[in-house]
A = this chain, B = another copy of it.
Amino acid sequence: MSKRRGYHHGNLREALVEAALDLIREKGPAGFTLSEAAKSAGVTPAAVYRHFAGREELIAEAARQGYEIFADLMEYAYDGGRPSALAAFEATGRAYLAFAQRHPGHYMAMFESGLSVNSAPELARAAHRAMGVLERAAEDLSRQIPAARRPPAGMFSAHIQAMSHGVVELFARNAPGAGSPFPPESLLETGIGIYLRGLGLIPPDE
């Protein structure tokens, strides 16, 4: 952690963000303190103020980076709707969970810190980009549903978000419902599968 070579750190800003992410992952967003982040970056708490206005801004930057990574992953998974709207949609679902598992600190900073997405414009922009992919995927896929039985795309995407977030919170961590006999990946995959079947997007017999 403290790979400083002298008086100057070299890349303190990023080191602080990483320290914050580690702390958030280990103790939750509330357990994270500016002082401890500074300490684990090998620096005095006061040094933090050279790079951030305060504790809040440090968390916001961690969340922003999370939304950027998240958006990139979602876009990569969606891949412009290839090879099919259905496959691309399912890939974004898997990407959602994979992100939560691989970047728990980011995920918690984004969704559990109580941070308002509108506290900073770059944060809002990144969050909007990430959510936009999911909404687009839902829109593309929902066009395959006969218009009469088609739910609004926003509702469709909200369902998937809810299911994904629920699986992460309840079954992908040491949460209340943990100790479930099913791995979160298969829980989410089957859950989304059944849901899509309910929309007539997957044949009922398969």
A 179-205 to B, binary, CB cutoff 8 A, 1 in contact else 0 = 011100001101101111111100010
Closest 6 CB pairs of A and B: A162-B166, A30-B30, A198-B198, A166-B166, A197-B198, A194-B198
Do A131 and B177 have beta carbons less than 8 Å apart?
yes
Interface segment out of the listed A13-21, A84-92, A153-161: A153-161
- Report chain B residues within 8 Å CB of A167: 158, 162, 166
Pick the residue among B154, B170, B182, B194 that contacts A154 (CB under 8 A). Answer: B182
Q: How many residues from A make CB contacts under 8 Å with B?
A: 48
A132 CB-CB contact with B under 8 Å: no
- Write the nearest CB–CB distance from A129 to chain B, whole angstroms: 13
A182 and B155 in contact, given A162-B166, A176-B110, A177-B131 (Cβ under 8 angstroms): yes
Do B158 and A180 have beta carbons less than 8 Å apart?
yes
With A159-B163, A159-B191 known, 18 other A-B pairs at CB within 8 A are A28-B30, A127-B176, A131-B177, A154-B180, A154-B181, A155-B187, A158-B187, A159-B187, A161-B177, A162-B170, A162-B187, A162-B188, A163-B191, A164-B166, A165-B165, A194-B199, A198-B199, A204-B204
